[in-house]
Structure 1
Amino acid sequence: MRWLLLLLLALLSGGALAAQPDASYDHDTSRDVLLMLRAPAAHATPEAGYIGDYRNAPGHKARARIARKLAAAHGMALRTDWPMPALGLDCYVLEAKDAQSAEQAVASLASDPRVESVQSMQRFDSLAAGQDPLYPAQPAGVAWKLDELHAFATGRGVTVAVIDSGIAASHADLRGQISESRDFVADDNARRAIPETHGTEVAGLIAARAGNALGIAGVAPDARLLALRACWQANGKGRAQCNTFTLAKALQFAIDSRAQVINLSLGGPRDVLLSRLVDVAMQRGAAVVAAVDPRAADGGFPASHPGVVAVAGDASRALPFRAFLAPADALPTTTVDGGWGLVGGTSFAAAQVSGLVALLRDAAPRLRSAAVRDALAPGPALGSAAARPLSIDACAAFARAGPGCACGCRLADAQETPRH
């Protein structure tokens, strides 16, 4: 059966979307230092509309002078900066001559009273490993009874921020699914991101168009995506790479855009700045979904961060936090060349759960972010021993979220239970 599916994928695939390599972050980021300076509350400053004219605002110029002085005093160069109003900060990227100098600068700058916080730049990686012809081959379609769930919720009105590599917005199964696109790698002000492999594959699993007689159907086909390019791939292929600064800029944008779901199909070391932004996103109502890193003993960050919906691809090992199990092998999805292909890995398991969370938020708009994990599957209390990932019963998740029985129901129950 697998070779027949591959043949069908080959026949369906077509077109070409050239992804140009990006060299903006090809240098050794171990030399980079992230410097945070306090900024006044946005409502009290002339740069409140920072996206448009932030760099021309008087307050920013004063803080930039301080950043340049601090950089020069420690033998570094000021490379770039970005506002983080969710934290009341401006973030500056300083570049040292080598990794050892950067480490020494972090220790020295931490004691400077003008500095709110300072840290090293860290690297993150992607975790890859109906009427739509490939829908029968989608594992989540069967396991989660998506045909039945889509009668009650399709993700309409829900915004999902896909913080990843570039997405092929012109793909036939993604055309019209992206409400806004931003590139936080190549150009701070770029409104469109170049199409790349990983982001396109993740986007298709979340929100590929349904019922268009093409390819697949996303788990939440009526959700709208924020395509936020914070990761990059050499020649558009291979494992996508990101860093603290690009991810922070994208998280800030997702927070400002009031995304209800934020998908982070990536993993790396624990990061202070990103932890703070993830906390603010959840406090403001977003459900943050992240992939468990199978290479990391603790499951990796941000999956291990408290409150995050962590998604694993298998239940072979216990984790020190609550995690959920989703299909992760032989998943058909959209590809950057305009066709469809098979993918595998926890990146894509997480993408499907982001789609499911979008369905829950469509069906139960008042569902609080903190309650999403309990809706997916009740788990052990905080502080309990490590446990294996929990299987998701999507029909039961709908009932726990509040809208009542939506699938796998007896006829009598279906007649008595209010629907969305």
Structure 2
Amino acid sequence: MRLPAIAIALCAALCAAAPPACAAQQDAATREDAASHRVLVMLRMPAPHFRPDSAYAGGYAEDGARAALRRTARELAATYKLTLVDDWPMPAIGIDCFVMEASADAPLEPVLALLARDPRVAWAQPLNQYHGLEADPLLQVQPAERFWHLSALQRASTGRKVAVAVIDSGIDADHPDLAGQLDRREDFVDDKPDTAEAHGTAVAGIIAAHAGNGKGIAGIAPDARLMGLRACWETRGQPARCNTFTLGKAIHFALVNDARIINLSLSGPPDRLLQTLLDAAAARGVAVVGAFDPQRADGGFPASYPGVIAVATDDDPRLLPAYALRAPGTDIPTSLPGGRWGMVSGASFAAAHVSGLTALLLALQPGTTPARLRRELASPPTARVSASGNSRAGRIDACAAVGRAAGACVCQCPTTTAATFELLP
């Protein structure tokens, strides 16, 4: 019972020279602590009485009846060692509600039990706490919400405790949507682990941005634990750059630190060192997700390497290789450095979607192998091609994949009774 008081004292010390916002937080903490020691005691109002004169308005004025209830409330407080704090008459339900506070070290349950048996009390109850249900303002424009029914998926899984290594440029760990989401931060470029860069921050946000915090977006797997492994660097006006050595160090770090998923939103030439590390990842059961390079027929490396889950954008117009999956990758709202949000497009961000979705699956079935994950993610194969030439092969049915892992329907579930409809003339 002393912990809230200690927390308030610490908050007071830290806020001594802080701006007014900190004082507001301290006030809120004080209110919440006080509420944890308070009960509501309901006393029934006397039956309404009617007077024939025109002054009567049916209210509950400061008259003898109200004074009598207050006396009763004070007697109850004294009997049960409570302090009378406040009250509010509620004539609409015939109740006067009194707020009473117990001492900090007194448990409320015995007091509530005694009050419940007192014939003067209509009922007594705890002072419960409630919270607003804030939505992430950009959630409704996220393709993952429109096409994957992200909110429904997250009722089945949030990727809890699944370790995802984001091997990329620097991640803004102070971003409102990413604060506290990174378990590890390592820099394999120039020993500047606090570097915040656009590409890495955007990828990390898609995978694991906070959900339901009333800010920005919702990550696909908001309860996944990120490793922010900086192996790439950014130069103004240029895409992020990496090399064999920086990537090799980062992949090795992910392997020895028990990453379950490695996200590689990048492309380049085949490389023996990196191939050897990817083979080691496959042997350890680590899922590697790579971005399908639209400039290369085979998707480039590492996407084309056996065992890597290759991901292209949903709107890529080409007939893709059978091993490539499709995921949202165009006009994706996500986090950007400096506490900002913006729109991004490209296979890098489609791959981030799949890394997040893979985390949802692994949280439900931790032992699933990378090969099985790839099969679970893919829709049933089809040779259908749209008028634009865009093959539907490899398109992900996220609801079905998560539903199979959860063993239950997770979105757009059928009702238990059948209904028959007919067309009207």
- Counterpart Cα distance in 1 of 2:407 and 2:233: 39
Amino acid at match of 1:263: N
The within-5 A match list for 1:35-50 is none
Separation of aligned partners in 2, 1:141 and 1:277? 34
Q: Give yes or no for the alignment of 1:288 onto 2:278.
A: no
Q: C-alpha displacement at 1:406, in angstroms?
A: 2.0
Choose which of 169, 193, 197 in structure 1 pairs with 2:173.
169
Q: Distance in 1 between matches of 2:367 and 2:412?
A: 24
Paired residues for 1:153-164 under 5 Å:
153-164=157-168
Distance 1:392 1:380 in 2: 11
The reply on whether 1:267 has 2:271 as its aligned counterpart is no
User: Contact 2:381/2:393 (CA < 8 Å) preserved in 1?
Assistant: no
Q: Which runs of 5+ in 2 are unaligned?
A: 1-133, 383-390, 418-425
**Does the C-alpha gap of structure 1 residues 402 and 280 become closer, same or farther in structure 2, counting only changes over 3 Å?**
farther
Deviations 1:159-210 (A, max 9, x none): 11000000000001000000000000003xx6x2411110001100000001
Counterpart residue number, 2:225: 224
Alpha carbons of 1:263 and 1:361: their partners in 2 closer, same or farther (altered >3 Å)?
same
- The worse-fitting range, judged by mean Cα deviation, of 166-175 and 309-318 is 309-318
Whether the 8 Å CA contact 1:267–1:302 is kept in 2: the answer is yes
What residue in structure 2 maps to residue 240 of structure 1? 240
* Structure 1 residue 222 displacement after superposition: 0.7
Letter in 1 for 2:377: L
1:284-320 deviation digits (Å, cap 9, x = unpaired): 1211101000111221000001111100013422334
What TM-score, normalized to structure 1? 0.63
1:300 and 2:300 equivalent? Answer: yes
TM-score between the two structures when normalised by the length of structure 2? 0.62
Q: What is the distance in 2 between the residues matched to 1:399 and 1:212?
A: 26
Kept in 1, the 8 Å contact 2:381–2:394? The answer is no
> What is the one-letter code of the residue matched to 1:325?
R
Give me the whole-angstrom Cα distance separating, in 1, the residues matched to 2:307 and 2:344: 27
- Aligned residue identity for 1:216: I
SS of alignment partner, residue 156 of structure 2: coil
Matched letter for residue 301 of structure 2 = F
The percent identity for this pair of structures is 55
Gaps of 5+ in 1: 1-129, 382-386, 414-420
Considering Cα pairs closer than 8 Å and 6+ residues apart, tell me whether 1 or 2 has the greater RCO.
Answer: 1
Report SS of the residue matched to 2:304: coil
Is 2:145 the counterpart of 1:141? yes
For residue 185 of structure 2, what is the aligned residue in structure 1? 181
Contact 1:319/1:388 (CA < 8 Å) preserved in 2? no
Aligned ranges 1:385-404 → 2 under 5 Å: 389-401=393-405, 403-404=407-408
Q: Give 1:411 shift.
A: 3.8
Equivalent in 135, 138, 146 of residue 131 of structure 1: 135
SS in 2 for 1:360: helix
Q: Give the corresponding residue for 2:215.
A: 214
**What is the one-letter code of the residue matched to 1:202?**
V
Cα distance in 2 for residues equivalent to 1:389 and 1:311: 12
Moved over 4 A (4+): 378-381
Larger Rg: 2
Q: Which residue of 2 aligns with 1:203?
A: 204
Correspondence list, 1:34-183, <5 A: 131-183=135-187
Question: C-alpha separation between the residues in 2 aligned to 1:194 and 1:170?
Answer: 11
For residue 278 of structure 1, report the CA deviation from its aligned partner: 0.8
Contact kept in structure 2, 1:193 and 1:229, CA below 8 Å: no
Maintained 8 Å contact 2:379/2:395? no
Q: Counterpart amino acid of 1:277?
A: L
User: 1:226 aligns to what SS in structure 2?
Assistant: strand
Give yes or no for the alignment of 1:349 onto 2:353. Answer: no
> Partners in 2 of 1:171 and 1:341 — Cα distance?
13
In structure 2, distance between residues paired with 1:255 and 1:321: 28
Secondary structure at 2:368's aligned position in 1?
A: coil
Are the equivalent residues in 2 in contact too, given 1:177–1:207 (CA < 8 A)?
A: yes
Give the superposition deviation at 1:375: 0.4
Partner amino acid for 1:304? S
Across the aligned residues of Structure 1 and Structure 2, the Cα RMSD in angstroms comes to: 1.9
Give the superposition deviation at 1:404. Answer: 3.1
Say whether 1:322 aligns with 2:323.
yes
**SS class of match (1:150):** helix
Confirm or deny: 8 A CA contact 1:161 1:259 kept in the other structure: yes
- Which residue identity does 1:265 align to in structure 2? S
